[in-house]
Amino acid sequence: MAAKQIKIALAGNPNSGKTTIFNSITGTRQKVGNWPGVTVEKKEGQVHKFGYNLKIIDLPGTYSLTPYSIEEIVARDFILDEQPDVVIDIIDASNLERSLYLATQIRELDCKVLFALNMHDVARARGITIDADKMSQLLDVPVVFTVGNKNEGVDVLLEKAVELARSDVQLPRTRRVKYSKDIEKCIENYKDYIENTVGDQLPYNSRWTAIKLLEDDKILQDRIKEKTGLKAPEILEQAEIHRSHIRNFFDEEPEIIFTDERYGFIAGIVKEVMTTSTLQRVDISRNIDLVLTNRFLGFPIFIFFIWAMFQLTFTIGAYPMEWIEDGISSFSGFLATVVPDGLFKDLLIDGIIAGVGAVIVFLPNILILFFCIALFEDTGYMSRAAFLMDKVMHMIGLHGKSFIPMLMGFGCSVPAIMATRTLESEKDRILTILITPFMSCSARLPIYIVLAGTFFPKSAGTVIFSIYIGGIVMAIIMGRLLRSTLLRGMDAPFVMELPPYRVPMLKSLVIHMWDRAKMFLKKMGGIILIGSVIIWFLSSFPKNIDYSKDYIKQIEAEKQTYEKTISMADEDRLLQHKNEHERAIEKLQQEKRIEATEKSYIGQIGKAIEPVFAPLGIDWRGSVALLTGFVAKEIVVSTLGVLYAAGDDESEALKHALKQSGMTPLSALGMMFFVLLYVPCLATVATIRKETFSWGWAIFSVIYSTLLAWITAFVIYQGGMLLGF
């Protein structure tokens, strides 16, 4: 018989260690997508334990279940509508009072809930002692201590969750939040009224429904209208009568009263179960912050960390890059000897292998970059970076909170733009969305590595670092301009929670890297493969080209000349003649390839748009590559690989061809800045439209960023030429 499945939902505050525990339980057995109807990330995992198939759902991190943000709505709706067998609330044991607000709200939902007091080691180091047994008795829920990043208590947590799922606990249970006498009386009266009016039509528990309607919960009001039909106006009218009663009695809005009452209940729980040692404990996080967030040292340290990240990405990544290049070159050579000559062989070697191979070699660099970003997030330094950038962000009328999406943009612009939902002001959101694509996403990194590695081999890491810094500077300049014109508004105040520093768990970091690797490899088999085939087709046809000279005849003549020469030459000069002959043949073959590509369909497209890019020092091949980059930035490298690469060593051939094309270090720098700034990829444009609810802002983003990219590259190239570089 198939093992029974138990559905377990993980809830908790941001920075409570919820995702660490999720990764610890599920490992790489995860599935990432979006919640139905919304673009908030959904993580699911499967694990077999204690004779059951456990389906683990990682709910979005929230501080409450009040339905104001999309994350709160998703978390609450999942618990209410999907009815998981058990909800595990991950509580930060070192911030018990704050964490218990969400815990009490989950407790009020009358579901089977289990509390995990996570980061117990941090709490202990701060002199905090929590009586888990007493908390369990007071709240009538099982309580387990865990240390997620050390995998302590996780198996016990799952065992307790399975026991709770199998138990016959009667719901609703009695020990939940108790409000003051007057509030409880109001809740009971309204609850009884609802039950007597539409008891059998209620979608949720009657007490919880009464509390939420008294709190003026708009989403629940809509649900009541759907479920109760003609009775809904009467029920909502009674809610307003009871709300008015509370308002008149307390001289305060009911939502505030309920919040205060919950915090009063929480304060009582904390007093009963938590004790703090009188010994003076050294707060390691605060001591580290004295240096890392120092007004003088903090910013230079932040810049150094970013610089070190790109140096590591380029230098360490160079070794596995060479291994992958050698593997692709050997595989390509093997196919060249096995596959018979013809159109299919050309497609396979010059199209698919050259195009996909030109991009896949950068997988190690992508992994190293995301390892560093995950390291910043898991240690808690990412929040410090936002704190440090607060003053800089105020220069453009934003606050440090807006820098979090921008930092995420170093990975991918799509989730970074989604992350702007946490910003309260609509103008702040739109402004952040418009400047976030200036943060170099990982898809741009292969382009920088190719160009910087070719034209700045000794200082490639520093050049790439300067590109990333250039993106931040340009974001500040354009942000200030947009804030002064299209998006005028006041600076918003900034409060950023600084979570304690934590030692990152290697398993969690590896999972982050693997997630990115899967996305990257999925692109290889999808859009990059399709793009490479299209580029190959456009560069290979038409076949009946009218060449400017008879290359076959000239190659044959060169061979005859060589044979005559070596028959009469001294033995000492045979090697010299052979090398000269091979260079001459290679030159003729290269000229033939160049002319064939120029007269192909893609060459015709490139020649048509070349005048636009010529002032930037970019030839028609580079122009076509930039054009294809609108679909996905990785295709820029793929296109260059198809148009330029030749010979056995594809990477070296591409570098050699780029140098021979007339591109200079100056024009390469201009091209890198053009790639940094110009039109985001298709997925990013679609996300901008979705998040701003407007095609207007999406089109504006495409136009203004591309114009800015052209002007910047023009200034770099033409200015550098004038200065004699």
- The whole-number pLDDT of residue 280 equals 43
- The whole-number pLDDT of residue 647 equals 42
Q: List pLDDT tens digits, range 571-624.
A: 667 777 778 888 888 778 777 777 777 788 888 888 899 899 999 999 888 888
Most confident of 22-26, 384-388, 432-436: 432-436
Average pLDDT over residues 522-541: 77
**Residue type for position 184:** E
Which range among 37-41, 442-446, 543-547 shows the weakest confidence by mean pLDDT? 37-41
Which range among 303-317, 467-481, 496-510 shows the weakest confidence by mean pLDDT? 496-510
- The whole-number pLDDT of residue 489 equals 66
Could you tell me which residue, 55 or 149, shows the higher pLDDT? 55
Closest CA to 700 of 468, 437, 393, 490: 437
Judge residue 602's burial from the number of C-beta atoms within 10 Å of its C-beta, 0-12 exposed, 13-18 middle, 19 or more buried. Answer: buried
Which range among 105-119, 303-317, 443-457 shows the weakest confidence by mean pLDDT? 303-317
Q: List pLDDT tens digits, range 654-681.
A: 777 777 777 899 999 999 999 999 987 8
Could you tell me which residue, 9 or 402, shows the higher pLDDT? 9
Read off the pLDDT band of 422 (50, 70, 90): low
Distance CA 715, CA 725 (A): 13
Which range among 230-239, 330-339, 511-520, 535-544 shows the weakest confidence by mean pLDDT? 511-520
Read off the pLDDT band of 646 (50, 70, 90): very low
Average pLDDT over residues 406-432: 79
What residues does 598 pair with on adjacent strands? Answer: none
Mean pLDDT of the chain: 82
Distance CA 417, CA 274 (A): 40
Query: Is the pLDDT score of 308 beyond 60?
Result: yes
Distance CA 50, CA 166 (A): 12
- The whole-number pLDDT of residue 353 equals 82
The SS3 of residue 44 is strand
Query: Is the pLDDT score of 137 beyond 90?
Result: no
**Segment (H or E) for 450:** helix 445-455
Closest CA to 449 of 349, 320, 538: 320
Compute the C-alpha angle 561/563/566, nearest 5°. Answer: 105
Query: Is the pLDDT score of 1 beyond 50?
Result: no
Q: Is the peptide bond before 437 cis (omega within 30 degrees of 0)?
A: no
What residues does 46 pair with on adjacent strands? Answer: 55
DSSP secondary structure letter of residue 420: G
Read off the pLDDT band of 405 (50, 70, 90): confident
Q: List pLDDT tens digits, range 260-269.
A: 888 888 888 8
Read off the pLDDT band of 283 (50, 70, 90): low
- The whole-number pLDDT of residue 696 equals 92
Query: Is the pLDDT score of 652 beyond 70?
Result: no
Query: Is the pLDDT score of 649 beyond 50?
Result: no
pTM of the model: 0.62
Distance CA 97, CA 269 (A): 9
Q: List pLDDT tens digits, range 461-483.
A: 889 889 988 998 898 889 888 88
Work out the percent of the chain whose per-residue pLDDT is above 70: 91
- The whole-number pLDDT of residue 281 equals 45
- The whole-number pLDDT of residue 160 equals 92
Query: Domains of the chain, with CATH numbers?
Result: 5-166 (3.40.50.300), 181-276 (1.10.287.1770), 295-484 (no CATH)
Which range among 132-136, 189-193, 489-493, 504-508 shows the weakest confidence by mean pLDDT? 489-493
Read off the pLDDT band of 420 (50, 70, 90): confident
At which residue do the structure tokens 């865990």 appear?
Answer: 146
Helices in 251-362 by DSSP H: which ranges? 254-273, 284-292, 298-338, 343-346, 354-360
Query: Is the pLDDT score of 209 beyond 90?
Result: no
